[in-house]
């Protein structure tokens, strides 16, 4: 049975996020879970993460996606609100053109081990429908944050420097597991809202 969530995530600022949106943090996804964020439909295809009986929780791996046009609009709004000079505006616009032509993945994870939750343990692979690899990224070091006495969290913003098709798969992997892939999401850009 599909678990359907309809959420809207908002970002506060283009260039510096203090944290990931609370809605992305709160979601507990299962295989087949579908949600809409920033106008894009995201479905968790599978997850190899195991339930931890002692904690009573599953590990979390959640993503959101912003496409190139959304990043440009967000940058323009931020520039207007913060009254950027033309020089700062051009530098920001060029950075998006060069480093985020395919958009941005926002990743949020929760695990039960501080070391395992460090971002350096994760990498993502983006593939098209035919499973051709389009993009791969190893996350840099970023220590985990304590959520509760049993849960650690981390997050990342991953700019994609290659164009992406309307529909693609995001594989989120942990280097410490023996699985070929830990979690797979299908992202459908500009998808219509979920129907009840």
Percentage, residues of the chain above pLDDT 70? 83
Question: Taking residues 178-186, what's their average pLDDT?
Answer: 84
Asked if the model's pLDDT at residue 53 lies above 60, the reply is: no
pLDDT tens for 3-32 read 333 222 223 234 344 457 888 888 888 889
Q: What is the pTM of this model?
A: 0.84
Q: How far is CA 62 from CA 66, 86, 154, 170, in A?
A: 14, 36, 11, 11
50 pLDDT band (50/70/90 cuts)? low
Q: What are phi and psi of 194, to 5 degrees?
A: -65, 140
Asked if the model's pLDDT at residue 116 lies above 60, the reply is: yes
Asked if the model's pLDDT at residue 43 lies above 80, the reply is: yes
Q: Which residue has the tokens 């479905």?
A: 43
Q: How far apart are CA 155 and CA 95, in angstroms?
A: 21
Which domains, and CATH codes, for the chain?
22-67+104-188 (2.60.40)
pLDDT score at 150:
82
Question: Per the structure block, which two tokens stand in for 50?
Answer: 């195991």
Asked if the model's pLDDT at residue 51 lies above 60, the reply is: no
């Amino acid at each position: 049975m599909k678990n359907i969530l309809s959420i809207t995530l908002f970002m506060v600022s283009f260039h510096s996020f203090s944290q990931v949106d609370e809605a992305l943090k709160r979601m507990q996804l299962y295989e087949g879970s579908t949600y809409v964020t920033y106008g894009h439909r995201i479905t968790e295809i599978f997850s190899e993460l195991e339930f931890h009986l002692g904690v009573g929780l599953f590990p979390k791996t959640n993503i959101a996606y912003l496409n190139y046009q959304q990043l440009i609009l967000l940058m323009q709004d931020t520039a207007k609100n913060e009254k950027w000079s033309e020089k700062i505006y051009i530098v920001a616009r060029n950075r998006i053109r060069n480093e985020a032509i395919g958009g941005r993945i926002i990743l949020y994870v929760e695990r039960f081990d501080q070391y395992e939750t460090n971002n350096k343990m994760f990498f993502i692979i983006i593939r098209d429908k035919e499973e051709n690899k389009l993009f791969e990224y190893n996350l840099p070091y970023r220590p985990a944050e304590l959520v509760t006495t049993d849960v650690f969290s981390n997050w990342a913003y991953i700019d994609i420097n290659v164009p992406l098709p309307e529909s693609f798969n995001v594989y989120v992997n942990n280097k410490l597991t023996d699985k070929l892939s830990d979690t797979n999401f299908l992202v459908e850009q500009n998808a219509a809202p979920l129907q009840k």
